[in-house]
């Protein structure tokens, strides 16, 4: 093959790859419109907050079949992602406020669409823009941070959220849901984005199997709930 033809083929390949990346990233979905800066209030005077990120909040779920989609759970209040289940249990047990992290743009709904964008974000250590976030976290001493494992790490949007606050002096309590990996795969990242905060022992839950008993026992061991 002539040198010129080779160069042209390589150039075409590079353009195709870049176009693919651009397509997945730039056109990953419309703007998320149901985000708010307000937390859902827990018990009056609480000094704890549960923040969580779940895929079902950042994909368009209209027409998505909950039965065939591994991480969407049909409940009385609609489709709920796996990580929202332990987030709500923690809120109920501790009386904490609750907040869902949402990206500015939707991820593509098919698994491969979400996975491609998430892979690019993880590979380039990106911080996807958020649709909203509370003005400050000053009143909280304890912040529970929940997320699914994406590509052997926490989703990069969790970093966007945590890095936008001064967390020094706060206790961060991570929890995750995943299919295979333990929470350890995400801990370097969580430590990196939490600055000077104290990080307590995390909990990993298999997919949508969180139970009150499991969460109660973990909280008690961490000294966050009385026996």
Ligand X SMILES: Cc1cc2nc3c(=O)[nH]c(=O)nc-3n(C[C@H](O)[C@H](O)[C@H](O)COP(=O)(O)O)c2cc1C
- Does 51 engage in binding with ligand X (CB under 6 A)? no
Q: Are 101 and 52 in contact (CB under 8 A)?
A: yes
Q: Which stretch binds ligand X (CB under 6 A): 16-24, 37-45, 51-59, 211-219?
A: 51-59
Q: Does 37 bind ligand X (CB under 6 A)?
A: no
* SS3 category, 155: coil
What does the block give as tokens for 166? 């001064």
Containing 176, the helix (H) or strand (E) segment is strand 171-178
Q: Counting contacts by CB under 6 A, is residue 189 touching ligand X?
A: no
SS3 helix, strand, coil % of the chain, rounded to 5? 35, 20, 45
* Structure tokens belonging to residue 157: 């949007």
- For residues 16 and 192, what is the distance between their CA atoms, to the nearest angstrom? 34
* Contact with ligand X (CB under 6 A) among 103, 109, 114, 186: 114
User: Of 46, 48, 61, 82, which lies in the binding site for ligand X, with binding defined by CB under 6 A?
Assistant: 82
> Mapping DSSP to helix (H, G, I), strand (E, B) and coil, where does residue 106 land?
coil
**Mask of contacts with ligand X, 192-211, x by CB under 6 A?**
---------------x----
Query: Which of 53, 57, 56, 77 has the alpha carbon at shortest distance from 65?
Result: 56
**Please, what is the minimum distance in Å from the beta carbon of residue 97 to ligand X?**
19
Burial 35-52 (b: 16+ CB within 10 A, else e): beeebeebeeebebbbbb
Residue 54 interacts with ligand X (CB under 6 A): yes or no: yes
Q: Which is nearer to ligand X, 18 or 70 (CB)?
A: 70
Phi/psi of residue 33, nearest 5 degrees: -110, -10
Is the CB of 115 or the CB of 187 nearer to ligand X?
115
Cβ nearer to ligand X, comparing 103 with 177: 177
- Residue 118 DSSP code: H
Q: How many residues bind ligand X (CB under 6 A)?
A: 23
Determine, following the binding rule CB under 6 A, whether residue 64 of this chain makes contact with ligand X. Answer: no
70 lies in the binding site for ligand X (CB under 6 A): yes
Q: How far is the CB of 9 from ligand X (least distance, A)?
A: 32
From 21, 151, 195, 214, residue interacting with ligand X (rule: CB under 6 A):
151
**Which residues lie near ligand X (CB under 6 A)?**
54-56, 70-71, 81-83, 111, 114-115, 118, 148-152, 177-181, 207
């Amino acid at each position: 093959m002539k040198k010129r033809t080779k160069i042209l083929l390589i150039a075409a390949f590079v353009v195709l790859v870049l176009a693919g990346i651009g397509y997945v990233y730039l056109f990953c979905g419309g703007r998320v419109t149901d985000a708010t800066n307000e937390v859902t209030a827990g018990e009056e005077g609480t000094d704890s907050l549960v923040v969580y990120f779940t895929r079902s909040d950042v994909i368009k779920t209209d027409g998505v079949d909950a039965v065939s989609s591994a991480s969407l759970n049909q409940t009385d209040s609609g489709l709920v992602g796996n990580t929202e289940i332990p987030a709500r249990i923690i809120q109920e047990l501790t009386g904490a406020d609750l907040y869902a992290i949402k990206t500015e743009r939707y991820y593509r709904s098919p698994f491969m669409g979400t996975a491609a964008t998430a892979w690019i974000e993880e590979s380039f250590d990106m911080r996807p823009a958020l649709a909203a976030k509370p003005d400050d976290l000053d009143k909280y001493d304890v912040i529970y941070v929940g997320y699914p494992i994406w590509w052997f790490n926490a989703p990069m949007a969790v970093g966007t959220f945590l890095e936008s606050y001064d967390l020094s002096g706060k206790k961060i309590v991570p929890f995750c849901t995943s299919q295979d990996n333990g929470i350890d795969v995400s801990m370097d990242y969580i430590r990196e984005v939490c600055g000077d905060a104290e990080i307590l022992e995390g909990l990993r839950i298999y997919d949508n199997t969180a139970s009150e008993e499991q969460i109660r026992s973990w909280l008690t061991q961490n000294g966050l709930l009385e026996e």
